[in-house]
Amino acid sequence: MQECIDRYGGLVWSLARRFLANQSEAEDAVQEIFIDVWKSAGRFDENVASEATFSAMMARRRLIDRGRRKRHTPDIDAVLRHADERPEAPLDTAEVSEDAGRAVEALKQLRPDQQRVLRLSVFHGLSHEKIAEATGLPLGTVKTHVRRGLIKVREILAEQGDAGEEDTLSPGRLEQ
């Protein structure tokens, strides 16, 4: 492994520095890349590519994956700080804004734990797994709160005569 690091460390390091913003993140990435290279060494085929190309491609793929994860991972602390706030009104039309306002009012009639989970899911776009991680609730409980909360909101809106389209607040649309 040391020979591999000595031989391709400069190549992988230069790729990491190009892809990543700071040195500490690049150092972490380089370590992870060499672990992956080591684990994937059995897949290396000298008839397909050279060792340098194999290492560079592994590095490139891992760096792209790392960048994608970073872009798609919301700041959980910031989301939790704002989870109980009312979202900004949509800018589309007055009708949409009115419907959204009724849905938010219906949401306020739910139990606090259901409200929080639904806000994180609907308004902040967090997956059930991220909500479970952020709130400390079991994943099954999060899924139950989302489903039952959406059903209850739909029932409240139906009682008001404002249910709208059947699938607008369908629990299946938000389950992930």
Are 165 and 95 in contact by the 8 Å Cβ rule? The answer is no
Tell me if the pTM is above 0.85.
Answer: no
Q: How many whole angstroms separate alpha carbon 101 and alpha carbon 87?
A: 10
137/98 Cα distance (integer angstroms) = 32
CA distance 73 to 69: 6
Q: Under a CB-based contact definition with an 8 Å cutoff, are residues 102 and 160 in contact?
A: yes
pLDDT of residue 92: 47
Cα–Cα distance for residue pair 39/33, rounded to 1 Å: 10
Q: What are the tokens at 10?
A: 């400069």
Topology, domain 2-72 = Rna Polymerase Sigma Factor; Chain: A (1.10.1740)
Element housing 129 (H / E): helix 128-135
> Does 76-174 carry CATH code 1.10.10.10?
yes
Residues 33-75 pLDDT 10s? 888 888 888 888 888 888 888 888 888 888 888 877 776 555 6
The count of residues in the chain is 176
91: pLDDT strictly greater than 80: no
The CA distance from 146 to 95, in Å, is: 25
Q: Where are the domains positioned within the chain?
A: 2-72, 76-174
38 contacts 54 by C-beta, under 8 angstroms: no
